[in-house]
Each structure stands twice: as C-alpha cells, then as structure tokens.
Amino acid sequence: MKTQALITMVLTNIAFLGFTAYFFRLVLKTPLDKPDNDDIEYPHGG
Amino acid sequence: MANNENWGSRVGLVLAMAGNAVGLGNFLRFPVQAVQNGGGTFIIPYLVCFLLLGIPLLFVEWSMGRFGGKHGDHSTPFILSNMAPKKQFLWKYVGVFGIFTNLAVAAYYCYLESWTLSYTWHSIAGSFEGQTAEGIANFFNNYVLNPGTEAFAFWIFCLVLNTYILSRGLSGGVEKVAKIGMPLLIVFGIFLAYKGLTVQEGVDGAIFSSSEGLNFLWAPTPGSSVWDPKIWVAAAGQIFFTLSVGMGSIQCYASYMRQRDDVALNAMSAGWMNGFVEVCLGAAIVIPISVGYFGIDWVIENTKNGGLGLGFRTLPYLFQQWGPVIALVSGVFWFGLLFFAGITSSLAMGTPCMGFLQDEFKMSRERSAWSFGAAIFFLGLPTVLFFKYGVFDEYDYWAGTISLVVFALLEIILFAWIFGMEKGWKEINAYADIKVPVVFKFIIKWVTPTLLLFVFIGAFFKPVGNDWSAVLQGRWVLDDGSVINTMLNSGLHKKIAATSDAAQLEELNKQLTYINLSRLLLVAMFAAITSLVYIAYRKRVKEGRWV
C-alpha cells in the first residue's frame, strides 16, 4: 500500500475512532438527570 | 391526548440519533463520492465540512428541538414559528419542510429497506449460490423493475414493522431498536471491514489485494487538487446528507428531551459516531472488495450512477467467492447491516409526522403511527409500481436532496439571524456537559450559512460535469443534473429528440409522464401538509394557545 494512502487512512481512522470513543464515554459517564418539576408541565407556546 | 413522552436513557437517545444519521449512504454513497472526487484529496474537504457545516448544524437542530419541546412542540412548523417574532407568520409554513421531507423520504426509503430484508432472506436461503455475476445482477434488475409478490410482501412487512415500532413509542419502540440495531450494525461492519481489508491477490479468485482499492480510496488521485471547487461541493453535500440535517427529524427527537438535558455533548457524540461508521467501516467494505475482484476501471465505470449497484448487484456475487459458509455469514451481515442502518433512519422519519398529529389534533400515539403508516403506503405505492419510470428517483431527488438543502438554509437563517445568535448560543450551551468552543458562534452565524449557500448554488446551477473550474473561467453551461435542468427535464428531452425507435420513444414519453405526475403528487403532498398546518394554527388561535 502506498505510504501516502496508509498515512491518510490511519490518521483519519484514528481521529474518527478516537473522538467517537471519547464523546461516547462522556455520555456513558453522565446519564440523563431524573425529571424535575420543570419538566412536568411545559407551557404551551404558539 | 397529551404528548408527554421522554427518552428512557441518554445512551438510547444518542444511539437513536446516530441511527437516524447512519443510513445506506454511509456504506454506499461515501466511498463512491470519495473515489469520484480525488480519493485521498477528498478527505480534507470532508473533514473541514464536517467541522464547519455538520457539527454546527447538529448544534442548531438539537437546540431548536429542545427549545420546541420546552413549549410543547414536537414538529418543525411550530418549533420554527415559536423562534420567530409573531408577525413573521410564514415561518410555520417553512416548517412544513420538516414534515414533508420525512413523509416523502419514508415513502420510498421503506421500499429500499425492504430490499435489504429480502436480500438477507435470500442470503440465508442460498439463492445466490452458484450464480454468475450476470445472474445476480439480473436478479436485482428483475426484483426492482418488475416487482412481484415477493417484493410487495417484503415492502408491506417493512411498513407494518416500522409502524408497529413507532406505535410502541420512543422508549418502548424506537430506543429499543436503536440499542439493538446500532451495536449489531457496528459488529457486522467490523466483520465485513476485516474481510474487505484482507482480500489477497490470487486467493478466492481475487485479481488484486485490498491495498489496490485502499490506494484508490485514500491516496490522492493524480491530477486532483484540494483547491478544486468540485471536490468541496461534493464533500459539503456528503457531510450534509450523511448527518440527516435539514430533515426535521433531529429537531423532533430532541424535542422529547427534558428541559435540563445537554445538547452539546449529545450532538457531538451522535455526529462523530456517524462519522466513525462512515469513514472507518463504510470505506473498508464496498471499494476494497469490488476493486479486489474487478479492478479500478470496472469500479469507476460501475459507480457512475452511485453505489447502489455495487451493494446489491455486485457484493452478493463476490461473497460467493469466499465459500458457502462465509458467503452466508457475509450476506446476512451485509444486508442485515444495511437493514439496521435503514430502519433506524426510517423510524426517525415517522416521529415528526406523529408529533404533529399528536400535538395539533390530539391523536393517540397508536393512531398517529398507523396514520403515518397508511400515508407512506399510499405515497410509496407509485415508487414500487413505477420504479422503472423513475418515480423512486424523483422522490429521492426532490424530497431527499433538494428539500433538505432549502430547509437547512432557511432554518440556520432563522436560528442565527432572526432568533439571534446571542439567544441561540445560550440555547446551545444551556445545561451543556462540554464546553463548546466560542469559535462555533462565529461559524454558525457566518461560515455554515455561507457553505450552505454554496451547496444550494452548487445544486441549482451545477455546471456540465460538475466542473467548477470551467465556471471560474467564465464557461457556465448547466448540467442536466442541475436543479434547473432537472426541473425542465432537459436530459430526458434530449434522449427523446435523439431517439428514432418507436418503442423506445413510447417508453421515454411514458417516463416523462410518470416523472411529471410524481412531481405533481409531491407538490400536492406539500400543499396538503401546509393546509393542515393552517388548520392547526386556526385551532391554536381558537383555543387561546396562540399567544
């Protein structure tokens, strides 16, 4: 495989894999908050 | 009936959003776009557009959705309307795009989804065993051009399946499918990527090793330049379509979040996950395998009209070269992967219509789901029956391509310039679990709308051969694929003028009639949704809900 193709492929894959893992890990670490009173009755706009 | 659903878990929400974005295009469109636009040269504009167009639009749509949910709105007509000053009454009609697009795309997308399910079944049943490349290609042509009982049965099954899951609600239906479908899709993708990356010259009939295809995909094509406007327009278009922005489905999903939920981290997570599936998995399957068996020239010739042919005509044949067991596993994994990519997207298309019906006409969840199912049955029927006359492609072009660009451009103008960037920035950052770099404030206000304008102009005034360097030199001849020439049916008229054969002429004239009828149907659909939005508005005024 050409060196240029290999470098482009590896760097791009590392970037996407790395950022996906990083952000998804943050999501897993901070679950949804429990609903609070503000959530129960939203004012209806329009 | 109150529409007070919520997501059951944050992971479920992120997976559902990522599933909404991950579609067949991640596996079939991205690699083809890359090889047609300079290979490795394409990746730089792609990354830049992801950061300057994709991520900002995700921030905007997620925060618009949460803003709408805060006011009890779960579809774009009244989400947009609430963000604009009351005297600017037209915004609710701009929001019609957010229902129209989903309905029209779901109408043909479910048919496409049913092909993947049918092919999964045929892979298990061994229908492709011992067949020639031509035999498998003919199987596909026959399946779509002359749909028989089987094609109808799989299509109806897909419609019913989608409708049933939607009727189970967000946490009971959509979220469960995303939690099962997305991990499976990634596992299937990893297996196929492994097979794609290990094709060896002379083994199992391969004429090249996978490095040939990977060079083709990742090394800059000789003569290509990163400054070529064509590559930038293609990269911006790919980013735009892969993230499912401009549809209205992200706003709808986000409107079911709780007021204090984060949008910044969720949007980043879903956006990067879609990118991972596209770049890491999508790039490692179709092109390396096809090039390994047929060579670069064949692939260039056979991807001129997109990657659908490679996915359905070519891969089932190539899987057979790996022996019966691996062929079965690969077939099930490939079409299973496409099915999960499809269903997680089509479910997202159902929710805006359901949200609208539930909010404005007080329908129950089940009734709104079955109303959606009935609508896509009637709207999808012409795409099944008259596929060979181009009805499917017309839906895809107007609803699945042009409508998205128009809506995204208008919504970002509303968000950044009418709602106001200061308020918009506060919305994005409210309850955020990550700090959004302040440069995005500038990007959302100036860069993203400008890029969108380029995509818009690129689509409307596409020059012959998409050659923008010729335009810069003052030669601007419209391509038959530009919006203007498509609207005028220029390509088809040229074909008609060049044909002397009576039978062929009759077929082309028939095609012209069906194309024009399908456009009329789409216009009628848009008008019908606009009328419903007007009725809903009058209802709100009458009930004192229009403040």
Per-residue pLDDT tens digits for B474-521:
888 898 989 999 999 999 999 999 999 999 999 999 999 999 999 999
Name the closest residue on chain A to residue B92, using Cα atoms: A46
What's the token pair of residue B348? 């997202």
Distance from A26 to chain B by nearest Cα, in Å? 8
Check if A26 contacts B (Cβ < 8 Å): yes
Looking at the predicted structure, is the pLDDT value of residue A46 above 80? no
Q: What is the distance of C-alpha B335 from the center of its chain?
A: 17
- Express each pLDDT in B365-376 by its tens digit: 999 999 999 999
Predicted local distance difference test score (pLDDT) of residue B3: 72
Determine which helix (DSSP H) or strand (DSSP E) holds B132, and give its type and residue range. none
Determine the Cα–Cα distance for residues B323 and B123; give it in Å rounded to an integer. 13
pLDDT band at A35; cut points 50, 70, 90? low
Neighbouring CB atoms inside 10 A of B42's CB total 27
Predicted local distance difference test score (pLDDT) of residue B1: 55
A45 contacts B11? CB cut-off 8 A: no
pLDDT band at A43; cut points 50, 70, 90? very low
Distance from B40 to chain A by nearest Cα, in Å? 7
Chain B partners within 8 Å of A23 (Cβ): 265, 268-269, 272-273
Predicted local distance difference test score (pLDDT) of residue B485: 94
Out of A5, A33, A44, closest to residue B215 by CB: A5
Place of tokens 């040229």: B494
A30 contacts B6? CB cut-off 8 A: no
CA terminus-to-terminus distance, chain A: 59
pLDDT band at A32; cut points 50, 70, 90? low
Check if A27 contacts B (Cβ < 8 Å): yes
Q: CB neighbours of B540 closer than 8 A, spacing ≥ 6?
A: A46, B78, B360, B546
Neighbouring CB atoms inside 10 A of B89's CB total 11
Looking at the predicted structure, is the pLDDT value of residue A44 above 70? no
Name the closest residue on chain B to residue A8, using Cα atoms: B218
Q: What is the identity of the amino acid at B190? A: I
Rounded to a whole number of angstroms, the CA Rg of chain A reads: 21
- Express each pLDDT in B486-495 by its tens digit: 999 999 999 9
Q: What is the identity of the amino acid at B503? A: A
CB contact at 8 A, B256 and B161: no
Q: What are the beta bridge partners of residue B39?
A: B220
Distance from B63 to chain A by nearest Cα, in Å? 16
Distance from A25 to chain B by nearest Cα, in Å? 9
B261 contacts A45? CB cut-off 8 A: no
Chain A partners within 8 Å of B43 (Cβ): 8, 12
Check if B71 contacts A (Cβ < 8 Å): yes
Predicted local distance difference test score (pLDDT) of residue B356: 97
Predicted local distance difference test score (pLDDT) of residue B304: 84
Kindly report the CA angle at B248 between B242 and B253, in degrees rounded to 5? 90
Name the closest residue on chain A to residue B212, using Cα atoms: A1
Question: In this structure, what is the dihedral angle of CA atoms B470, B471, B475, B479, given to the nearest 10 degrees?
Answer: 90
Place of tokens 């079944």: B121
Determine the Cα–Cα distance for residues B149 and B131; give it in Å rounded to an integer. 22
Residue B488 or B309, more confident: B488
Check if A8 contacts B (Cβ < 8 Å): yes
- Express each pLDDT in B421-434 by its tens digit: 999 999 999 999 99
- Express each pLDDT in B233-258 by its tens digit: 889 889 988 999 999 999 999 999 99
Q: What's chain B's average pLDDT?
A: 94
Looking at the predicted structure, is the pLDDT value of residue B207 above 90? yes
pLDDT band at A40; cut points 50, 70, 90? very low
DSSP string, B243-265: TTTTSSHHHHHHHTS-TT--SHH
Residue B373, class by beta-carbon neighbours within 10 Å (0-12 exposed, 13-18 middle, 19+ buried)? buried
Q: CB neighbours of B388 closer than 8 A, spacing ≥ 6?
A: B144, B145, B146
CB contact at 8 A, B379 and B104: yes
3-class secondary structure, B375: helix
Mean pLDDT of the B111-135 span: 96
pLDDT band at B10; cut points 50, 70, 90? very high
DSSP character for B478? B
Predicted local distance difference test score (pLDDT) of residue B458: 83
- Express each pLDDT in B73-83 by its tens digit: 999 999 999 99
B81 contacts A46? CB cut-off 8 A: yes
Out of B72, B214, B273, closest to residue A9 by CB: B214
Mean pLDDT of the B48-67 span: 97
CB contact at 8 A, B352 and B161: no
Check if A15 contacts B (Cβ < 8 Å): yes
Determine which helix (DSSP H) or strand (DSSP E) holds B276, and give its type and residue range. helix B264-276
Check if A29 contacts B (Cβ < 8 Å): no
Predicted local distance difference test score (pLDDT) of residue B67: 97
Percent of chain B predicted with pLDDT > 90: 87
Predicted local distance difference test score (pLDDT) of residue B189: 97
3-class secondary structure, B408: helix
Check if B426 contacts A (Cβ < 8 Å): no
Predicted local distance difference test score (pLDDT) of residue B456: 86
Which of B49, B273, B281 to mutate to test binding with chain A, by most A CBs within 10 Å of its CB? B273
Kindly report the CA angle at B402 between B401 and B403, in degrees rounded to 5? 100
Cα–Cα nearest to B219, from B275, B291, B277, B276: B291
Looking at the predicted structure, is the pLDDT value of residue B271 above 60? yes
Mean pLDDT of the A11-16 span: 97
Predicted local distance difference test score (pLDDT) of residue A42: 43
Rounded to a whole number of angstroms, the CA Rg of chain B reads: 23
Name the closest residue on chain A to residue B539, using Cα atoms: A46
Least confident of B112-116, B305-309, B336-340, B366-370: B305-309
Q: What is the identity of the amino acid at B298? A: W
Name the closest residue on chain A to residue B208, using Cα atoms: A1
User: What is the value of ipTM here, to two decimals?
Assistant: 0.92
